[in-house]
Structure 1
């Protein structure tokens, strides 16, 4: 939505949007011909305006297959942000350690794999090769699955020798309820101590509209179980969404049921600071 409302939920200092994307500007960073989809332009300047409006001080920009393996828009945003952003890359086997080192110095701290049919399912041996490539740099691994895909991926996720974050609450069929097999699998993985989860994508999970009340029972169970392992992300600018475009103010207010200040501080500030390697906030902020 072009003009999101100001959220009712107040955000603590240092709040982080742990999952968002940028596209363009296309006159500087044209889309590659081999992209898997064609996004609308959504540059860093628009992302910054959104975050200033909503009240976010930090963000993690995830490289999208809309720009493919061309990370120049992301690298430019990291430079412009001067510490406001961290990045997550897309890599293939055979990428050079020098490239990973360049990305690491720029502020990229993770690599993402999408196990989604419409984006092309990666080969697990190729995924393992990329994980081995980035492991010396201490990067995390982001996993994007949907439906019952997490059940099939559980053993593989447990085998990853790096911190893992699962995107968008693993995108279950929300009709299975807060005690369904995907949620139970998430809880087991969170209990491993090496897996984190993004409380993002409520607009994709919901079978209704804002305030996404049908997603809240699952999210409440996750927060009640492991608030120190959760992150929050907007998923702006909401590409490949089949339905009404969400208001980002509504997505922030989805956290309104997180009633304790300690849990909000953990999910929005302390957890992303630790997981993505942001500097600690100055005393008094």
Structure 2
């Protein structure tokens, strides 16, 4: 069976709709042109590529802490969408509970954007997430994970690691940050997204220098600890990206159909509470 014939859940994408939900005036980056991806457009992608459900991630670009565009897509999605919100570190437990009731399962911890120091003392945020059974979705690059390990060790929050941990592909599998990520597999509270190759590759598609890292993650976490994601509509992509070729990369990485089903359907369906 081909990857195109199998059901899937996309575990990381953004809804960008500045016509209906204008960007914040203080935004650091304003997506434009091909970076804009509305809920209507993504529903067409779902029909074309057999995507049954999706985890929408509130983008720092354009919207910052304004989650309305994502929440509207979830509300109109007929149960097919859940979300990851963007909140300040001092967000109240009541606000997190409100977001939870609207289909938001976790919040972003964007270390690659804000820096390690911004989150190094975010114990209150992490503990509030744990109390609500929500997760921290961490995006970092290279060895930045090392600076978060004390926080992770002090707290019990479930973790989703974005975009394969964005390792330095020139530094090898033994680089400290990547080895720390592999060790998180032993905690039983972390999962990793096999996605975002263009964000850390130094090569054009098919991003051959990322393959050893993705294979090592798949080996360490197992299919039950890995998720697949497209990162549609490919904000700040250094080259043209398309949904179909990314699915082919997933098939190349996971030629076994049972493993693909675990990563692309069974694991996210269980983790995020999606139905059939």
TM-score scaled by structure 1?
Answer: 0.87
> Structure 1 158/262 Cα, relative in aligned 2: closer, same or farther at 3 Å?
farther
In 2: Cα distance, 1:126 partner to 1:158 partner: 12
Q: Check conservation: 1:113, 1:122, Cα contact below 8 A.
A: no
In 2: Cα distance, 1:233 partner to 1:158 partner: 27
Q: Deviations 1:248-268 (Å, cap 9, x if unpaired)?
A: 222111112202122111110
Q: Check conservation: 1:92, 1:126, Cα contact below 8 A.
A: no
> Structure 1 182/126 Cα, relative in aligned 2: closer, same or farther at 3 Å?
closer
Which protein, 1 or 2, shows the higher relative CO under an 8 Å CA cutoff with sep ≥ 6? 1
Alignment match of 2:11 (pick from 18, 21, 25): 18
> Structure 1 96/186 Cα, relative in aligned 2: closer, same or farther at 3 Å?
closer
Per-residue deviation, 1:48: 1.4
Q: Deviations 1:15-50 (Å, cap 9, x if unpaired)?
A: 1110101111x2321101121211123211111112
- The structure with the largest helix share of the pair is 2
Alignment correspondent of 1:9:
3
Q: Check conservation: 2:136, 2:160, Cα contact below 8 A.
A: yes
Structure 1: which 5+ runs fail to align?
1-7
> Does residue 275 in structure 1 map to residue 267 in structure 2?
no
Q: Check conservation: 1:113, 1:143, Cα contact below 8 A.
A: yes
Alignment correspondent of 1:158:
153
Alignment correspondent of 1:72:
68
Task: Give the root-mean-square deviation of aligned CA atoms.
Answer: 2.0
In 2: Cα distance, 1:225 partner to 1:133 partner: 29
Alignment correspondent of 1:234:
230
Structure 2: which 5+ runs fail to align?
none
In 1: Cα distance, 2:112 partner to 2:55 partner: 21
> Structure 1 223/121 Cα, relative in aligned 2: closer, same or farther at 3 Å?
closer
In 2: Cα distance, 1:11 partner to 1:222 partner: 25
Q: Check conservation: 1:141, 1:165, Cα contact below 8 A.
A: yes
